[in-house]
Amino acid sequence: MSDNKKHKDWGTSYGEMVWHEFAKSKFTLLWLGFIVVLFVVAVFAPFFANDKPFFIKIDGHLRWPLFGALTASDYSIFLAAFITLIQLLLILRNKRKVDPSIRSGVLWRQIFVSISIIIIGTILFFIFIPKRLDATDYKSMIENGKATNALFAPVPYGYGRTDLKVREQAPNRQHWLGTDDVGSDVLCRVIHGSRISLSVGFVAVGISSIIGIIIGAILGYSGGKTDFVGMRLVEIMMAVPVFFLIITIVAFFPRSLFNIMLIIGLTTWTEDARFVRAEFLKLRRQDFVQAAISLGLPLRSILFRHMLPNAIAPVLVNATFGIAGAIFIEAALSFLGFGVAPPAPSWGQILSLGVSTTGRFLWWLTLFPGLAIFFTVLAYNIVGESLRDAIDPRLREAR
Amino acid sequence: MTTYIIRRLFLMIPTLLGITLMVFAISRAAPGDPVGLSQGMGGMMDAQRAADVRAARNRLYGLDKPVYIQYATWLGRVARLDFGDSIKHHRPVIDLIKERLPITLILNLISFVIIYAVSIPMGILSAVGRKKFLDKASSVMLLMLWSLPSMWVGQMLIGYLCGPPYNLFPPAGLSSNDAEQYPFFQWLADRLMHLVLPVFCLTYAGFAYLTKLVRAGMLDNLRADYVRTARAKGLSNWSVIFHHAFRNSVIPVITIMATLLPAMFGGSVIIERIFSVSGMGLLAFESVTTRDYNVVMGVATIAGFLNLIGLLLADISYAIADPRISFESTE
């Protein structure tokens, strides 16, 4: 507590307490670090695995093909990662600079601005960055001596590049994790696949958390008849086996990454709704909520400014497990062939190639994408578990 | 008891309506229309004739009526378990489901029993020996099991155990081709060998889930005052654990059936696909791949219905296990 004397001593916030408890275990921090590494790999995937060189000298001119070939979605991902980083730093800054009484309001405003920037930026990128198809084979240019001084990414293959000469090769010096049925490099596809997994995880959970929070908040706050009818509807949602529901929807709707995110998000919100409702039912009788109501604050403010911060903890824990679950579902869908269409790289899709059409078992197409799914899901589950233990004081003493 | 069950059955009706409405809504909200799909591109016809054919087809399938009438008609047929014909198999959907359902049910029931049979003792042991080696080892192990993707495990098992070097297990199906002619014990052995891998893949995630739950419940109860009282009375450790603590922690274990069942149903789609077991899951998979919409809708409805029955069973066993719940009370 004495570590920042310059600022006012506002005591330890709830978030700090949870973080302190969370960071006690080195094991958990290790897995959190793993998630951070995964993020870096996913965000900068084109710099790790790309068939275009960073720079290359052709006829004496220095060119930058890799940067020229970045697509609108690449730029959107960079922007989203950058804004998220800034937002995290801002949260740390708020802790020291902003008075606790207005901190949550400031935080909401910041998050709103961040999300708006990401969305607007993404739209602008998709409008203004033209689709460029750079099919130049830079590697053969080097071999032919047409070009010199090239610097390639560590994995010099494109995820969509097919090369039937090297199809279904076991790991070797050129292809560290082997090649798939059309001769694409597996390591490259695993690296790019992390983008799909993580984006599905986060967007799907974002959607489901928002739906769950809104529905749970309304039901829990209003109680009575609305609550009763609403809960019956939630029960109906819960009575349908989620995976069956998802593949039913997949059967009828076109398959795209966005649809898959949306479908997973729209079918998995029931847990969140139940948690939030239960918390709100307890909270709405408490004095500070009654005070907020009697002050005549708008409903939006009562629900999300005053009540939600007290009920957000279980949602956060559930979100962490939800990310693991969504990654799992996406992998399963892609494995069954209902996911994003190739050549878009997805771990589940690579896994599904592990048994070739002739029935041969190709171990490298099974082992590596499976390990990727396993470690990612495990990391989120371990972090979620520790977060839950850190948040729940009852569990804390039980351990 | 009977009134309780009957009341629960009545409460199921709105849920059932909701499920059918959801399935129907999904099928109608989808882009593209079934008539256009069944007509194909139809390049040979002139526009007038194509429109006539389309209108005739629409009338034939009742698609010219308002949506709510279409839903009512469909619901009426669903009530008679008539889901129409499969486009691919040219047979009534319900016949297909009747054929496939028992296989999935057997697979899931066996897995279910095994999950409970293994998890409960594991959870108790782990809670009793808290912070000891077994407990610590098992909690990390369980989290790992929980995170293992079943499609990966299944494919690895097939690849390494069913292949030429070991040939331990048959890779596909639930029985050998000529199993019908086997004498009983050989038939049984054959069946069991086929079941080992799929059942393993269906169960391991459940172990992780349920064992943690049993452990948590046991820990709560072992610290409770009545357990201290029981120990103070001089009861044996065994009696304290099983007669006092365990009986009180059994309730969440029963309620979790409601979560476990749908998860297993979903899981069987993947497992049946990997091991080529022709059950409901594989039927769902095939119908989605071939866009056999009648089958998709039928399977989804039946799966929802079965799930409801599972929930009902969970509720009933809950009421039996917990004497505080009286059968007469509402909700």
In tens, the pLDDT along A177-211 reads: 888 888 888 999 999 999 999 999 999 999 999 99
**Phi and psi at residue A208, to the nearest 5°:** -65, -35
Q: Nearest by CB to B146, which of A249, A254, A381?
A: A381
Interface probe for B, chosen from A240, A356, A363 (most Cβ of B below 10 Å), is: A240
Inspect the interface and report whether the beta carbons of A239 and B308 lie closer than 8 Å. Answer: yes
Closest CA–CA distance from residue A20 to any residue of chain B (Å): 22
What integer is the mean pLDDT of B241-254?
82
What is the pLDDT confidence band of residue A1, given thresholds at 50, 70 and 90? very low
Say yes or no to pLDDT of A294 above 70. yes
Q: How far is CA B147 from CA A54, A363, A381, B207, in A?
A: 37, 20, 7, 12
Query: Which CATH number is correct for A2-49+163-398, 1.10.3720.10, 3.40.930.10, 3.40.1380.10, 1.20.1050.10?
Result: 1.10.3720.10
Q: Does residue A104 contact residue A309 with C-beta atoms inside 8 Å? A: yes
pLDDT (tens digit, 9 = 90+) per residue, A307-342?
888 888 888 889 999 999 999 999 999 999 888 887
Q: Centre a 10 Å sphere on the Cβ of residue B165 and count the other Cβ atoms it contains.
A: 7
CB atoms within 10 A of CB B230: 18
pLDDT for the residue B149: 92
Q: Alpha helix (H) ranges present in B162-279?
A: 184-222, 225-232, 237-239, 247-255, 257-274
Mean pLDDT of A143-160: 81
Higher per-residue pLDDT: B312 or A9: B312
Between CA A18 and CA A224, with CA A309 as vertex, the angle to 5 degrees is: 130
Q: Which residue of B has its CA nearest to A270?
A: B259
Of A332, A249, A33, nearest to B26 by C-alpha is A249
* Overall average pLDDT of the B274-300 stretch: 87
- How far is the C-alpha of B284 from the C-alpha of A248, rounded, in Å? 8
Mean pLDDT of B168-177: 75
Whether A388 has a pLDDT exceeding 80, the answer reads yes
| Predicted pLDDT at A98 | 81
Q: Which residue has the higher pLDDT, A399 or A316?
A: A316
- Residue B36 is predicted with a pLDDT of 58
- Angle formed at CA A380 by CA A377 and CA A384, multiple of 5 degrees: 135
**Contact: A348, B265; criterion CB under 8 Å:** no
d(CA B26, CA A240): 13
Higher pLDDT, B49 or B237: B237
Q: Is the dihedral of CA B126, B130, B132, B136 positive or negative?
A: positive
Of B27, B143, B263, the CB nearest to A381: B143
In this structure, what token pair is assigned to residue B70? 């279409």
Answer whether A396's CB lies under 8 Å from A389's CB. yes
- At A43, the pLDDT band (50, 70, 90 cuts) reads very high
Per-window interface: B 61-100 vs A, CB < 8 A: none
ipTM score of complex: 0.85
Percentage of chain B modeled with pLDDT above 70: 92
pLDDT at A392 over 80: no
Mean pLDDT computed over A286-304: 88
pLDDT in the model for residue A398: 46
Nearest CA to A351 among A366, A336, A371? A366
The bridge status of strand A55-58 relative to strand A61-63 is antiparallel
More confident residue, B325 or B156: B156
What distance in Å separates the CA atoms of residue A182 and residue A165, rounded to the nearest whole number? 9
Q: Band the pLDDT of A219: cuts 50, 70, 90.
A: very high
Q: Do A378 and B267 touch (CB under 8 A)?
A: no
Whether A369 shows a pLDDT value over 90: the answer reads yes
3-class secondary-structure state, position A353: coil
Q: Quote the mean pLDDT of chain A.
A: 86
CB contact (8 A) between residue A381 and residue B147:
yes
| Distance, first Cα to last Cα, chain B | 14
Residue with token string 């290359």: A56
Categorize the per-residue pLDDT at B32 as very low, low, confident or very high, splitting at 50, 70 and 90. Answer: low
d(CA A378, CA A366): 18
DSSP B181: G
Residue B105, CA atoms < 13 Å, CB-side half-sphere: 12
Decide which of B160 and B50 is more confident: B160
Please state the rounded mean pLDDT for residues B268-272: 90
Q: What mean pLDDT value characterizes chain B?
A: 82
Cβ of B288 within 8 Å of Cβ of A251? The answer is yes
Q: Is the pLDDT of residue A376 over 70?
A: yes
* Average pLDDT of the segment spanning B303-322: 81
Percentage of chain B modeled with pLDDT above 90: 8
Mean pLDDT of A267-271: 90
Q: Answer whether residue B278 shows pLDDT above 80.
A: yes
Would you state the pLDDT for residue B127?
84
Helices (H), chain A: 14-22, 26-43, 45-48, 65-68, 72-97, 100-128, 138-144, 186-222, 224-239, 242-252, 257-267, 270-283, 287-294, 299-300, 308-336, 347-352, 363-391, 393-398
pLDDT bracket for residue A249 (50, 70, 90): confident
- Burial (CB < 10 A; 0-12, 13-18, 19+), residue A159, is buried
Mean pLDDT of A216-235: 88
CB pairs under 8 A between A and B: 143
Judge whether B290 is closer than 8 Å to chain A, CB to CB. no
Chain A interface includes B23 (CB < 8 A): yes
Q: Is the CB of residue B315 less than 8 Å from the CB of residue B8?
A: yes
At A151, give phi and psi (nearest 5°). Answer: -120, 115
Q: What are phi and psi of B67, to 5 degrees?
A: -60, -40
- Higher pLDDT pick, A375 / A107: A375
Banded model confidence at residue A217, pLDDT cuts 50, 70, 90: very high
Q: How confident is the model at residue B134 (pLDDT cuts 50, 70, 90)?
A: confident
Whether the per-residue pLDDT at B37 is higher than 60: the answer is no
Contact indicator for A216, A280 with CB cutoff of 8 Å: yes
Which of B123, B141, B86 has the alpha carbon at shortest distance from B242? B123
- Chain A CB within 8 Å of residue B253 CB: no
| pLDDT score of B40 | 53
Whether the predicted pLDDT of A163 surpasses 70:
yes
Average pLDDT, integer, range B37-59: 67
Tracing tokens 């995880």 back to the chain, one arrives at A201
Phi-psi region of A359 (alpha: psi -120 to 50; beta: other; left: phi over 0): left
The pLDDT, as a whole number, for residue A113 is 94
Question: Which chain B residues are Cβ-neighbours of A248 within 8 angstroms?
Answer: 23, 26, 288, 296-297, 299-300
